[in-house]
Amino acid sequence: MFKTRKVVIVGAGHVGSHVALALIQSGEADDIVLIDILKEKAAAQALDLDDGVSGALCGRDAIIRAGEYSELNDADILVMAFGRSRRPGETRLDMFDDSIKMANEVISHLKQVDFKGIMISISNPADIICEHIRRQMNWEPNRCFCTGTSLESYRLLRVLSAATGYSRKSIQAFCMGEHGNSSFVAWSAIRIGSKSFAQLRAERPELAALSLDDLQLQVKRAGDIEVDGKGCTEFGIANAACMLIKAIFHDEKLIWPCSTVLSGEYGQKDVAAGVPCVIGKNGIEEILELPLTEEEQAKFAASCDILRGFLDRAGSL
């Protein structure tokens, strides 16, 4: 018997609307509901998106509409995309105070409904907001996680493809830690085809000549360039959210970095940070522990310490 795949998106701004568009174009949701504190904006975004359903690339129909939090009672996926855009010169952590206030308002609504599905959070500072909501709602970790370093990993694939000439599809690489300035590239885990990046650099002088620090800087600077130039980021993260939703609906067992609370993995507890996870029908089904180098382990610990401090602050508000 056919089951409708229902996704509720909280926040109808740049990111939320593009998540909805990605779902429409891919055909990965049948029923999409937008919720926003600005009800007229949510209704207008839904109508504009609905205008495009007939021309969706997937060739499928979908229902897209504005709604209330009660829609969560039978929803499969909840996407958190509320919040303001990052301003030029700001880090994601600078958004903490504003975002926590918004998160607490959203939590007050969540406590009035009976949501049994999986939450994927995007709202910045992403790791902190997601884990704060999870703790306040007392939801199981597997069904409440954030996109984490997904966007940094997309950017890393772009940067590595441009630098090496290999297709992004042939590169396995990702970032770990905070979705923010303390994230880092797990260089020791990068594979191109069946070979490690380190092995390829040892064999090919043109790859050995690449500066890893410069490649890392390109990944870190991408968000700042986008925010300075256009005022927000929206397309990449929307596709990342759609990819995760697809992995859940199709039980793909996708291995991808997401932010989830750690319980001893990588030597960390009571903090949520971006780590490679297995994504399937139950959400995060497994955390994969990589044999990081000593330097990488130290970077991950430092990133977790930053996040833990803000999480403690959120819990005291």
Question: Which residues are marked as active site?
Answer: 179
Task: Give CA 104 to chain center in angstroms.
Answer: 20
- DSSP single-letter state for residue 317: -
Nearest Cα residue to 66 out of 136, 145, 9, 148: 9
| Geometric angle at alpha carbon 92, from 86 and 97, rounded to 5° | 90
Compute the distance between CA of residue 68 and CA of residue 36 in angstroms, rounded to an integer: 9
Strand arrangement, sheet containing 254-263: 63-66, 31-35, 6-10, 77-80, 118-121, 144-146, 254-263, 269-280, 283-287
The answer to whether the beta carbons of residues 148 and 259 sit under 8 Å apart is yes
Compute the distance between CA of residue 12 and CA of residue 127 in angstroms, rounded to an integer: 20
Compute the distance between CA of residue 41 and CA of residue 275 in angstroms, rounded to an integer: 35
Compute the distance between CA of residue 131 and CA of residue 138 in angstroms, rounded to an integer: 10
Q: For CA atoms 254, 259, 264, 270, give the dihedral sign.
A: negative
Place of tokens 């989830």: 260
Residue 273: how many other CB atoms lie within 10 Å = 31
Compute the distance between CA of residue 118 and CA of residue 248 in angstroms, rounded to an integer: 9
